[in-house]
Amino acid sequence: MSTRTHPAPLRIAIVGTGNIGIDLLLKVEASPLLTCVLFAGRRADSPGIELARERGVTTSTDGFDAVVDARDEIDLVFDGTSAGDATRHWGIAEPLGLPFIDLTPANRGRFCVPALNLEDCAEEQYLSMVTCGGQAAVPMARCITQIAGHVDYLEIVSASASATVGPASRANLDEYVHTTEQATTEFCTATRTKTVLIINPADPGIVMRNSIAVSTAERIDLEALRDSVTTMEKQIRSYVPGYRVVVPPVATGDRYMLTVEVEGRGDYFPRYAGNLDIITCAAVAAAEARTGRGRS
């Protein structure tokens, strides 16, 4: 009889107990390849700290200091704080050799968009998960520019429900725009790019939507583009089940556009919180890839 055993789950520390941290905790708990050994923040009355305690996860209100103290028991750190805090935390983690996956728009190193470059990121100590809009829209923007060859102008418009955008995210709106545009430039060929973020206060909340539009003097083969978009949609759905194209590629004059929607799993937040799911699922996929048994 075979006695083959599987490697132990990757030991994860999550720093940041807000919306992203809570969603991350639930995603990590659902993964057979990961286990959360520390959930750390600063506020003792944080709903995230309370939730983690109820689920039997070790918690701390010492923030990143708790990660440093427990570094020998941690394989990887997820940072879901703010761009400024994540930058400071990375300055501590780097010399310690701690692998660090950043879910803030701090943009200190290698961008990781699993649908585009997951295999190239497995050995990087620092990964930036760009932004929720970047994870949702940049792969589709890449489809367009690969078919077109080059575009003059590329625009991404992302809309998310106000209730899903926490204080740290609101404090980082400029960083969000800059980081998304940088990732678009890195993965796509466009002369100019622009990112627009809409925080929609509608109640009940709207499902996250992302529109990608380009202007180009070159004619784009719509059939080839639609095939490329369908393939990319399937690839992203392998780790973000609620991802779907709701407006396939269409053309009006020299302008081409498409729209994607991201619905959350509803683990803790309402299903319209797809902006949380898209980035936390991407981060989990990046972490799982380090075990050698991640999603293919």
- Residues with catalytic function: 132
Q: Are the beta carbons of 226 and 245 closer than 8 angstroms? A: no
What HEC string does 137-159 produce? HHHHHHHHHHHHCCEEEEEEEEE
CA nearest 147: which of 235, 195, 214, 194? 214
Tokens 């369908």 locate to 230
Amino acid identity of residue 214, one-letter, is V
Token digits for 263? 């619905």
Measured torsion, CA atoms of residues 66, 62, 84, 97, in degrees rounded to the nearest 10: -10
CA nearest 183: which of 126, 141, 239? 141
CA nearest 130: which of 156, 109, 107? 107
